[in-house]
Amino acid sequence: MKKITGIIFDIDGVLYSGEEAVDGACYALNLIADAKIQFRCLSNTTRKSSDSISEKLKDFGFIIPKENIITPAVVVSKILNLMDIKKCFFLVTEDVCDDFYSSGLISDEINPEAVVIGDAGQNFNYERLNRVFRILIENNRYNKNKSIENNEVFFRKKIIVDKSTNKNGYSNKNNMAKSEKKDENMTEIRTEHINSVPANKVQCKQISFFALEMDKYWMDKDGLSLSAGPFIKGLEYATETNAYLIGKPSLLFFNSSLSSLGKDPHETLVVGDDIITDIGGAKNAGISGALVRTGKFREDKLISSGIKPDFILNSVSNLPEILGLK
How many structural domains is the chain composed of? Answer: 3
Q: What is the residue range of 312's domain? A: 6-44+264-322
Evaluate if pTM is beyond 0.75. yes
Residues 185 and 316 in one domain: no
Residues 88 and 105 in one domain: yes
- DSSP letters, 251-293, are HHHHHHHHHHHT--GGGEEEEES-IIIIIIHHHHTT-EEEEES
Q: How confident is the model at residue 132 (pLDDT cuts 50, 70, 90)?
A: very high
Look at residue 83 and tell me if it is in a domain.
Answer: yes
Look at residue 256 and tell me if it is in a domain.
Answer: no
Q: How confident is the model at residue 1 (pLDDT cuts 50, 70, 90)?
A: low
Write down the mean pLDDT value for the chain. Answer: 82
Look at residue 254 and tell me if it is in a domain.
Answer: no
| Phi/psi at 120 (5° precision) | -90, -5
Quick one: pLDDT at residue 220? 76
Whole-angstrom distance, CA of residue 292 vs CA of residue 289: 10
251 to each of 53, 122, 160, 317, how far by Cα in Å? 23, 29, 11, 27
Q: What is the pLDDT of residues 65-113, one digit of tens each?
A: 999 999 999 999 999 999 999 999 999 999 999 999 999 999 999 889 9
Quick one: pLDDT at residue 133? 94
Residues 268 and 178 in one domain: no
User: What CATH number is attached to the domain comprising 272?
Assistant: 3.40.50.1000
CB-CB neighbours of 58 under 10 Å: 12
- Which has more confidence, 194 or 81? 81
Quick one: pLDDT at residue 165? 37
Q: Which of 237, 238, 296, 248 is nearest to 118 (CA)?
A: 248
Look at residue 275 and tell me if it is in a domain.
Answer: yes
Amino acid at 69: I
Quick one: pLDDT at residue 217? 82
Quick one: pLDDT at residue 143? 53
Look at residue 169 and tell me if it is in a domain.
Answer: yes
User: What residues have CB less than 8 Å from 288, skipping those under 6 apart?
Assistant: 2, 4, 268, 269, 270, 282, 310, 311
Q: How confident is the model at residue 150 (pLDDT cuts 50, 70, 90)?
A: very low
Residues 36 and 110 in one domain: no
Q: Which of 95, 92, 104, 2 is nearest to 56 (CA)?
A: 95
Look at residue 299 and tell me if it is in a domain.
Answer: yes
pLDDT higher than threshold 60 for residue 206:
no
**Do the beta carbons of residue 253 and residue 278 sit within 8 Å?**
no
Residues 179 and 281 in one domain: no
Residues 81 and 229 in one domain: yes
- Which has more confidence, 206 or 316? 316
H/E run at residue 218: strand 217-220
Residues 183 and 304 in one domain: no
Residues 81 and 123 in one domain: yes
- As a whole-number percent, the residues of the chain with pLDDT over 70 amount to 78
pLDDT higher than threshold 60 for residue 149:
no
Residues 157 and 278 in one domain: no
Residues 78 and 96 in one domain: yes
Look at residue 20 and tell me if it is in a domain.
Answer: yes
Whole-angstrom distance, CA of residue 235 vs CA of residue 248: 20
- Which has more confidence, 160 or 18? 18
Whole-angstrom distance, CA of residue 271 vs CA of residue 65: 19
Residues 119 and 174 in one domain: no
DSSP state for residue 324 in the 8-state scheme: T
Residues 197 and 214 in one domain: no
Look at residue 314 and tell me if it is in a domain.
Answer: yes
